[in-house]
Amino acid sequence: MLDGLSDIKNRIVSSSAEEVVASYLERIEKSNINAFTCIAEDAIEQAKKVDSLDIEGPLAGVPIAIKDNISTKGLSTTCSSAILEGYVPPYDAHVIERLRKAGAVIIGKSNMDEFGMGTSTETSTYGPTLNPWDTERVAGGSSGGSAAAVAAGQVPVSLGSDTGGSVRCPAAFCGAVGLKPTYGAVSRYGLVSYANSLEQIGPLANRVEDVAALMDVIGTYDNRDSTCVKHNAGYTDTLQDGVDGLKIGVPDEYFGEGIDDNVQKLVWDAIGKFEDMGAEYTKVSMPNTPYALAAYYIIAMSEASSNLARFDGTRYGNRSEGENWHMMASKTRQEKFGAEVKRRILLGTYALSAGYHDKYYLKALKVRTLVKQDFERAFEDVDVLMAPTMPTPAFKIGEKMDDPLSLYLSDVNTVPINLAGVPSISVPCGFSEGLPVGLQVIGNYFDEATILKAAHSFEKNTDHHTKLAAEVV
């Protein structure tokens, strides 16, 4: 079984933070799964500082991987894109400030799909991250490096970001636990924007209690993010309360065409386990779910078109040479952006163009409101919703890269959550042909405590999280 935060804290007490961090660095060096874009050269120095100053923060000496689109002062942040090669931020994101204050050791930046655009981490300029369970398969995306590093025991915890499932997808594919918090629960200050209205920073770990512990650290108000909301946290306070009397809603639309039979069976088995623990379930209808995927991609691509306009080689990052500014900016974007990023910029620009704005973008916003109302109606009668995180287990590397629409369809069960802004957690619920499958537990706004409690109760009463992925790397 992989170490959790409590195990690591005990190891630090019995030895030192330096020794613990060194052991993880050695594990990363021996790995072949390409989970990191860079390793922090001062990781050992950070650990020594914890030892010498006797820092007692809740994460003192704990090594953590940070997705490569979260700003880290003095440490390369490239979004796994050639256009940001060599960019070193002059400031820390809010979540990084909180982690440093808690004593965590930033061990490195984790690989991702370029600018978060992908479901497999195959669009990274550094190459794909490999799944620890089967290195011929994808780790999921876009936070594939963060999930794979956790599942392979290279770090105990990590941070990712979730725009349409980018924490939950790789968590499901790699057999980790991944939380997408309520929109506004965690500050996005310092997160490189892809789609502002959809994305949220979220934690990954091998245990639900460790995800909750990370949320206690990062889930605080920050006035530098105008969308950040003041709310009562205490994510670890009710973990042990159990699920007796919990009302579960099961949306029919999340078990439709395209969802693998084995995945459906494992999720229904998990719901049966909740019944054994005293919960009850009822089927619910979310009729606008079939339109969510199309609405999501129109909104996300439109926002990406606007956000990525800043990357022109002028202010930061990499650039190509040109005889004037226009040629330089044009060549930089042509040569340094990958194919998927270009595709989404073009489609987003088209959706926002005169004559098409109302036909596509405005209509997508209306659908988003309908999806949100589906969730609001459902939560009038139930406490949580449960469904498969992903329609299939991890697919093979290269299998879907030539078919973007097939890749986009993989997000069918995750994007509605981002459109609505509600929280959701993926927790392992079994294995299909030796590959992990994730159960998605969805909660009401700012009710992370209930989905964490449910996931923790399920985890305690099953053994899915105890199998060591590192054995197959």
Active site positions, annotated: 67, 142, 166
Radius of gyration (C-alpha) of the chain in whole angstroms: 21
Helix or strand or coil: residue 100? helix
SS (H, E, C) 249-308: EEEHHHHCCCCCHHHHHHHHHHHHHHHHCCCEEEEECCCCHHHHHHHHHHHHHHHHHHHH
Give, in order, the Cα–Cα distances in Å from 60 to each of 64, 205, 453: 11, 17, 25
* Cα–Cα distance measured from residue 103 to residue 370, given in angstroms and rounded to the nearest whole number: 43
Q: Which residue has the tokens 């639309």?
A: 253
* Cα–Cα distance measured from residue 189 to residue 72, given in angstroms and rounded to the nearest whole number: 11
Name every residue whose Cβ is closer than 8 Å to that of residue 7 and which is 6 or more positions away in sequence. none
Helix or strand or coil: residue 320? coil
Give, in order, the Cα–Cα distances in Å from 297 to each of 18, 186, 368: 44, 23, 11
* Cα–Cα distance measured from residue 141 to residue 160, given in angstroms and rounded to the nearest whole number: 10
DSSP 75: B
Q: What does 399-436 look like in DSSP terms, one character per residue?
A: SSTT-HHHHHHTTTTTHHHHHHT--EEEEEEEEETTEE
* C-alpha atoms less than 13 angstroms from C-alpha of 347 in its C-beta half-sphere: 17
Torsion sign across C-alpha atoms 223, 229, 232, 235: negative
Show the CA angle centred on residue 5, arms to residues 104 and 95, nearest 5°.
Answer: 35
Pairing of strands 105-110, 200-205: unpaired
DSSP 387: E
Phi, psi of 375 (to 5 degrees): -65, -45
* Cα–Cα distance measured from residue 314 to residue 325, given in angstroms and rounded to the nearest whole number: 9
- Whose CA is closest to 144, among 161, 156, 153? 161
DSSP 123: S
Helix or strand or coil: residue 332? helix
